[in-house]
Structures are given as structure tokens and as C-alpha cells.
Chain A
């Protein structure tokens, strides 16, 4: 199932890359630039000898003169390969390269290779052995003069190659490999062609006839695209070497042309088949892969010189023609490689507007050949020719009827052509109408070409009407593909209406009463934009007409909400505003001077107390006179001072726990000495009283 899908996908892909499906451009300079860009030697060589051969062959066919200089390094590896007993494949490509570069190889080497190839050929069992050895012998025939290369047992070799063929025209790679391959068929045909040209005596014509039948059978399995391109595809996917459609088709084309070149008699292959193959190769465009480019160019070169029929490619330099610039219809006919075609006439069978097949605009007109530019030119379009999307049907008529067999012209070729011109825009006006009466409230003329803008206002009971006329250069009505009226609300909600027209006249009436719901009850300013465009309209435009202020009723509760508008990505990100923390303000404090003043004031009562004491004339006569009570009294007051000092320290640095500890010790001492002192004083005063 999946495999069956591939051709289909290939098909879709080709269609997608070659948009103008039926127009194929022959090989042009873009291929040459691509070749020069793709094939760049590294250190003076192009990789392997196989790659080198492909490069040289491609350059040769494309006629590129400024080849990179690779001779020295490549010739060295060529003579190395030829001098050694390298693999057959390498030998084959070395000889191929030598054929182009003409390196200096000694005759003895050629002789030893020849004898080696002969032994290989005698024991050959697999197709690749046949292919490479016969191919190498053919190349030796061109390159050396002294060696005898004719094959004695040509019939035998022919038959052993033929023995590998299958009933459906495909070939097997070797007798013990049951899988048949289309790619192998190409190789086999090439090998057979080699045998025929190397044979010392003529090959049996019957055998050649069966091979020709095989070729026809092979072409029964050809695949087809919608655009008429034909190609071969390898049926077996898991063959030990898988080849894509391009490589397979290319191999078959090489084999076919080689075989038909050496055999006489015609092959009953229709010219259209060859033409279809040419379409396939040209449809690829410019491949980006070196191998693909070689396959494409080499196959096209084969087709260009083949004996079945040479395809002629009809191409148009321009399929978009402007009536205002008075472009001429030009057609070029080339061979696939872009060389000049034989004398012929291009005839427009008919031309019609796409969509109206029955009415032809041009019928049976021959184009004039301009020898200088080798273009076929339609001198002038008929007077009534108008803008539009046309389909032209061309036919190539060869002057020499004998050449009809040599060239394939592809029959009738349909080419879509766009004829563009300036469309006249007239009588544009915009008006606000009253709904029930249809009377015109405000009407403004519009100049759709200029810059002027209108400003209108309407409520939901009114209508907006836009009118304009479009006419082709011939004065007919013109219906553009794109005629949109766009109302855009401030919030970004857009509403698009198609402006319908009949004939020249285009008219749209927006009845706001019916549109209230569609407008989501959004009142406000709507910008009006008109877009008119078509593929054949050279003056397509997008124009801001102005704006309308709509006064719509309030939205009921269950009204639909306007859709979400996309957020602008540029404003979504970006740095945020900085935030700095606002700290709690410190409490208000009076100035330090005030505190100090009050500090001074707090000492005043103390001073007053001291002065008072002095005034009263205090004395200390009661202080104990004897030593022991005097010591206790002294210690008592000292410890009071110590407690006060402790309080002082508590304020300055100590914490509560240290202070309480010290106070406990001091307190006990204080109580003890205080008790002694006070009891002494009390006994003294009691004595005094009793005395």
C-alpha cells in the first residue's frame, strides 16, 4: 500500500515544483551556473574517478569552457588504476575519464587491460561484469589504435546477456538473483549495444529483433504524470542497490539510445513516449545533487541525438503579457539541450479564455519567425483582445515532412497565458442611507485612485452603500477575484464583505440592523478598507477609504463576545518597571539639644537637694567612732554605691541575667552589713535615750 503511494507523491511533488505544469524550459544557463557551483574540485580532484567522469561529461555536454584544472592530479590516478589490477568498475571509469582528458598511457598497458577484459568477459556471469567489461572494451577501441578489440564470440556473449532478461522486458543482475530490475535493463541494453559494435561479424538479426521486443515490453511498464511526463520506476525496493526514478529512467534512456544507435531498422516506439521522457527530465528543473544533475544532463544529451525521435521543446519566455506595455507573444522552439531546432512553423490552433472553452479568441494563426532572435512571434493581438486568463493551444509544424519521423513535437501544447492590463475604476461613491425610506442621508464621492478619506457616521437603523465601476481596457465589465470591503473596529475586530457586481457596476449595501449581532454590538470608529485585485489587473489596490462612526445599541446580556485578539508579541515581553521597597519611616525624635537641655534640668533638683543640705548644715557626727561599727558602716555605704554602680553598668552594657546575679551577691552582703550598721545605730540611740 505504502509503496503504491510513492509514485503518487512523486507526482504531486513534481506538480508542486513546476507550477506551470505544461511549460518546460530547455537546458539553459541556470544549469551551467548550477553545474559550476555543484562541481568544485577539492585539492585538484573530484573525488572518485566515477564522480570525475560525471563532472567531465556534464561539463562537456553543457559546453562549459572554464573548467577547473584537474588534469595533472586526475591523470595520475587514472594511470595508477589502469596500471594495477583494480576492480572492473574503477577500470571502466578510469577509461571514461581518460577518454575525455587524453592522458598519456602506454600501449602495453592497453594491451594488458584488453587481455584481462577478454578473460573476464569469457567467465562473466553477472550483468555488471558484462556491462563494465564491454564498456571498457568499447572505450579502449576509441582510445588505442594498436590493439585488436573485435569480439570473436559476439553471438555467444550477446546470448548470455540476453539470458538474463525477463519476460516483462526487465533484466536480472545475475543468473542466481531472481529479482528483475528496470535499472538493470538499461545497463543490459547498453552492454548489448557494445557487443554489437564490437562484433567482428554481424549479429543475428533475429536476436536483435527479440531485444527490440523486450524494449517495447519494458516501455509498457512506463509510469505517467498528469502533465504528460513519463518515467520508469524500480519496482523492487529491496534490491541491493536502490535507484530512484531519475537514475532508473536515465539508465533506460542511455541503454535505449545506445542500442538504437548501433542497430539498423526502426524501433516501433511512438515519438510521444520520447517526448514524455524529455518532459520528465526537464520537469526536474535544476537539481541540487551532483549525481542527479549528471543523470539529467546525460539523459537529455542522449535524447538530443537519439535515433528514435528527437524531442522539440516549445517554451515561452513570458506567459504573463501586459496589454499596457504591448508585450508580444513570443514562442521559442529548441531541442532539449537548448540548441536550434530545424525549420518549422508554430501555429496557434486556438486561444480561449479559461472557463469559456467554446469561444475562441484566436484560431489557426501562424506565428512569424524572427531569424535574429530565433523566436516565433505573434505580431499583434486582435483588436478586441482583452485582459484575462487565456489558454493558448500551440502546434509545431515542421517544414520538411521527412523530419516528421526524426522529431517529436508533442502534438498540441496547451499553455496558460495571463494577459494583464489596467482596469478603469470609475464613479465610486459611498453613502449612508436611511433604512426605511431609502433616502440618502450623506453621500460622498470617492476618488479610489487618490488619497482622500471620508468620515461618516451612522446608527444601527441606517445602511452603508458603496458603489464603483470597473471596466477593462476594451470597456467590458471586469470581475476581479478579490473585491473585499473591510470594516475594522478600534479594538481590532475585523469584518470582511465581498463586494458583488454585475457587469461593470459593483455595489454593496451594509444594513447595520442585520449586522448588529455580527458586529458584537461594538460601537465606535470603524476603519473602512477596500481591496480590489486580480491576477490580470495591473492596478490592483488596497485603499483606506476613511472611517465610519457607528452608534449601535447596548449589548444584551447573552450577546456573543467579540473574539480574542492576538497580543502584540513585541509588547508582551520586555523589562518591567522597577520596584523598590518603601521602608518604614523612623519615629520622629526631638533634636538632641533639647534632650540634653532636659538632661541638665533633671540634675537641678539634685543640686537643690545638695545646696539645701549644706544650708541646713548637715554633719556626720553620728558616724560610729569605734573601728568595727565604722568598718561595717563604711562597707554598707560602699555596697549601696556598688548596687547603684551595677545599675549604671546594667544600663551601659550588662544584660539582665548578669545584673541579677551580681545583685544577688551584693544584696546578701548589703543586708548583712546594713543589719549590723543599723542595729549598731539603733543600740547607740537607745542608749542615748535611756541615758
Chain B
């Protein structure tokens, strides 16, 4: 009896245990970490610790563990996946690249780190996300002008890059002063893919090649087209971080000082910790995830939403937008949220004004075209989730008795008609009774 009760409770609780990031239940997130070796858990412990301190629960597994599974009966066990297994050729258990892509397609987040010996499997997953790693397996990113001054690393593959994406929502509002250390392989972004962004780019003098062999033909990747770390936000708001370097997240890089070649400033600590922690906040939706609630519209001076508007009505449109901060929904403040009054093409496009408490508001006059319109908010901003709201509303023309009734211009016509009638009245009397 008690056993069946437990089973029953478990079954009823199951839907709440974990799911992709959802505005309804954004906390308590479970992350699966797949590693080449458990030593990564220790050598990258600062990165994991910062996530754990923000309330994430980790499940560390070897990538070839035969027991790993992402889902069973269509339900996912985890909200996010960290793939710190650059050399893995085949995952254990039921996981393969298609399973990982399905995981992302169902709205889950992914952090993937490759390295100089990245396997075909890891490259394939990255390619599916719009990121093409250098095909030469021996190639690493080399930069002879913006490397890190080091007494022990002489081959200029340890790069100090400070070309970060200019987006406060992705890399945090606090400026990352120190350059970010990078050692690994470079990738390019598919230009046709508009969802993928370069979070950390190489300098114009960088190139991707094997440092041990002479170059006879131009390398495939050169200059600032090389992306070192990229982020992707899918249309379903799943977020992906792809780094060409696993050591970028390591304690060694977090702690080490950095001095960029040719620059006199020496930083005691590289920007890696700040960079990767801030990026992880973005990837795990602690920043830049918007939700819109209480979409309302009504005529000016009224509060109820009408079933339809008449042309030339004055109306008000209101929407509340909040951003998830990792703990709570906080009012989102921006000055570029726009609403469209749309039928085949926008008739009215207006920027909403905000009260800085999340409420956005505007008022405009319904155009003098009737038909079925939509209130559309298509909010796209670098790094933020896309808000796409639409609400249908018909607009009708004037009724027959809603037109103007006494037009001054027509007074002479009225006057002549009535004077005619008065004349007729008098004429009947005179005509009948005159003698």
C-alpha cells in the first residue's frame, strides 16, 4: 500500500522534476556533465563550483559510461548538458549526436568544449549548430601578435583575446578588463546562419594551422573571421555555447595572470573566470530570457477590451515584459520595444514607452482601413530571447448613422427645400381660398 503510494507520488511529481527552461518553472535545474575523464571535474572545479553556487545540480558522468541516457519515454532527465569530452568518439548508452540535437531541439541548453584533438563526433555536433571547426585535425589557432607573454609557452598558441561580443546581456554588464586566455582550435560561423554569434573572436593576425609544420597553402581560417567561442540561440530559445578550447574553463586559466604581447599592462588574473561564468549565466537563461504577460488593448478612456475597433478609434496598447534574473522575474527596461498594427504589412509601428517597472504602453489611432488587423510585438535583440506576440482584432468602417449629419455646406440645399415647402403650404391656402 505504502509502496504504491510512493510510486503514485513519484509519478505525479515526475513532470515537475525537470524540464527545459520554462517561464513557469525556471529554477532547480539539473545539468548532465559528460567528461573524458573525472580529472576534468577537479581541474575545472572553479567553473563547476560557480554554477553549483547558483543552484545547479550536476550529474558527472564519463562520456562513454554505458548507463548515460538523456531521456526515457520522451521525458528528459536533464535541463542542460555540458560536454567537456572533446576526444570522445562514441558516447556510451543511448546517446549519440542525434540524441543531443534532439535534446537541444526540445529547448535544452548545451555547453560544448572542443580541443586540439577534437573527435569527429564533437565536430559533427558543432557543425549541426552552425559552427565549423577547422577540418585539419592538427590545426590550432596561432597568433603571433596577440599571444600571451609567457616564459614557458613559446609557440604562440596561448592566445590572449579581448575581442568580445559587445552585448551586456551575453557577457555581463561589468566590463571584462583582462584578456581571455584561449588555447585550442578555431571555427568559423556559417554566414547563412543568423542565430549563431561570435562571443570571442580572434585578432586579425590570427590563423589556424599546425604549428609544427610549414605552411605551403593558405590556411582555411584566418583573421577575425575565426571565432574562438560562439553562442547560439535557437528559435525555441535553447542556448548553446561552443568553445574551441576546453582549457578556457580550467582552473589553471582562471587563475593565471595575463599580459598580452606588446601591451605594458599585466593583469594578475585573466578574464576567463568572468567571461565563462557570465557566458554560462546567459546560456543557462539567468539573463536575457524575456517573458511578456498581460497583453491588453482598449479604447482610450475605457478599460475593457472591445471585440472590434472602428476606423479612426483612439486606442491604447499595454504589455508587461519581465526578464529572468536567475532567481526572480524582474522588470525589463528598454526603449526599443515596438508594436505593429498589422494587416499584410504594418499600418502603424510605434515604439512603446515604459514606466521602468515592466509595463510598456502606447496609444495610437486606428487607421482608416478596415479589415482584420493584428497587434504584433516582434522583439528581437542581440542576446535576448525573441518575443513574438500577436493578437488579432477586426476593424470595421463607420455605420450608416455614424457619419456626420448636419453638414454646413449643404445648408443652402436644406434651406431651399424648406422654403419650397413653406411656399407650397402658403400657396395651397392662397390658391384654395382666394376670391
Stretch at the interface among B100-108, B121-129, B190-198, B272-280: B190-198
Contacts of A536 in B (CB 8 A): 154
Tell me which of A573, A578, A621 contacts B435 (CB under 8 A): A621
Decide if A619 is an interface residue (CB 8 Å cutoff).
yes
Q: Mark A587-614, 1 if CB is under 8 A from B, else 0.
A: 0011010011011111101100110010
Decide if A574 is an interface residue (CB 8 Å cutoff).
yes
Contacts of A484 in B (CB 8 A): 207, 218, 222
Question: Within B281-326, which residues are at the interface with A (CB < 8 Å)?
Answer: 312
Instruction: Indicate if the CB atoms of B64 and A6 lie closer than 8 Å.
Output: yes
Q: Mark A219-235, 1 if CB is under 8 A from B, else 0.
A: 00000000000000000
Instruction: Indicate if the CB atoms of B189 and A596 lie closer than 8 Å.
Output: no
Instruction: Indicate if the CB atoms of B250 and A17 lie closer than 8 Å.
Output: yes
Decide if B365 is an interface residue (CB 8 Å cutoff).
yes
**A288, A542, A641: residue with the most chain B Cβ atoms closer than 10 Å:** A288
Q: Give complex CA distance A650, B210 in Å.
A: 95
Stretch at the interface among B1-9, B15-23, B353-361, B421-429: B421-429
Contacts of B350 in A (CB 8 A): 578, 580
Decide if B416 is an interface residue (CB 8 Å cutoff).
yes
Instruction: Indicate if the CB atoms of B218 and A497 lie closer than 8 Å.
Output: yes
Instruction: Indicate if the CB atoms of B145 and A541 lie closer than 8 Å.
Output: yes
Instruction: Indicate if the CB atoms of B419 and A581 lie closer than 8 Å.
Output: no
Tell me which of B41, B215, B422 contacts A606 (CB under 8 A): B422
Q: Give complex CA distance A146, B43 in Å.
A: 46
Knowing A420-B154, A484-B222, A486-B222, say if A16 contacts B247 (CB, 8 Å).
yes
Q: Mark A520-542, 1 if CB is under 8 A from B, else 0.
A: 00000000010101111100111
Decide if A9 is an interface residue (CB 8 Å cutoff).
yes
Contacts of A640 in B (CB 8 A): 425, 428
A contacts with B, residue count (CB < 8 A): 106
Instruction: Indicate if the CB atoms of B418 and A648 lie closer than 8 Å.
Output: yes
Interface size class of B (residues with CB under 8 A): 35 or more
Instruction: Indicate if the CB atoms of B430 and A288 lie closer than 8 Å.
Output: no
Is chain A's binding surface mostly helix, strand, loop or mixed?
mixed
Instruction: Indicate if the CB atoms of A533 and B145 lie closer than 8 Å.
Output: yes
- Minimum CB–CB distance for A284 against chain B, Å: 7
Q: Give complex CA distance A509, B116 in Å.
A: 34
Instruction: Indicate if the CB atoms of B39 and A637 lie closer than 8 Å.
Output: no
Knowing A482-B207, A564-B191, say if A619 contacts B214 (CB, 8 Å).
no
Decide if B174 is an interface residue (CB 8 Å cutoff).
no
Contacts of B189 in A (CB 8 A): 566
Minimum CB distance partner of B210 in chain A: A481
Q: Give complex CA distance A531, B206 in Å.
A: 9
Question: Within B314-361, which residues are at the interface with A (CB < 8 Å)?
Answer: 336, 338, 340-341, 346-351
Instruction: Indicate if the CB atoms of B144 and A567 lie closer than 8 Å.
Output: no
- Minimum CB–CB distance for B49 against chain A, Å: 8
Instruction: Indicate if the CB atoms of B435 and A622 lie closer than 8 Å.
Output: yes
Decide if B204 is an interface residue (CB 8 Å cutoff).
yes
Question: Within A454-468, which residues are at the interface with B (CB < 8 Å)?
Answer: none
Contacts of A637 in B (CB 8 A): 425, 428-429
Q: Mark B345-383, 1 if CB is under 8 A from A, else 0.
A: 011111100000000000011011100000000001110
Stretch at the interface among A54-62, A208-216, A313-321, A549-557: A313-321
Minimum CB distance partner of B416 in chain A: A602
Instruction: Indicate if the CB atoms of A288 and B419 lie closer than 8 Å.
Output: no
Contacts of A583 in B (CB 8 A): 312, 365, 367-368
**A542, A596, A601, A647: residue with the most chain B Cβ atoms closer than 10 Å:** A542
Decide if B12 is an interface residue (CB 8 Å cutoff).
no
- Minimum CB–CB distance for A585 against chain B, Å: 10
Using a CB–CB cutoff of 8 Å, the interface residues on chain A facing chain B are 2, 5-6, 9-10, 12-14, 16-17, 19-20, 23, 30, 244-246, 284-289, 292, 316-320, 389, 416-418, 420, 479, 481-482, 484, 486, 494, 496-498, 529, 531, 533-537, 540-542, 563-567, 569-570, 572-581, 583-584, 589-590, 592, 595-596, 598-603, 605-606, 609-610, 613, 618-623, 633, 637, 640-641, 644, 647-648, 651, 655, 677-678, 681
Inter-chain pairs besides A288-B43, A498-B217, 20 sampled, C-beta below 8 Å = A16-B246, A20-B153, A288-B44, A288-B49, A292-B39, A320-B151, A320-B152, A389-B155, A482-B215, A533-B144, A535-B155, A542-B205, A572-B194, A589-B407, A599-B415, A601-B412, A602-B412, A603-B415, A633-B432, A647-B421
Using a CB–CB cutoff of 8 Å, the interface residues on chain B facing chain A are 36-46, 49, 62, 64, 66, 85-90, 92, 115-117, 142-145, 150-156, 158, 165-166, 183, 189, 191-192, 194, 197-198, 204-205, 207, 209, 211, 214-219, 222-223, 225, 246-247, 250-252, 255, 312, 336, 338, 340-341, 346-351, 364-365, 367-369, 380-382, 401, 407-412, 414-416, 418-430, 432-435
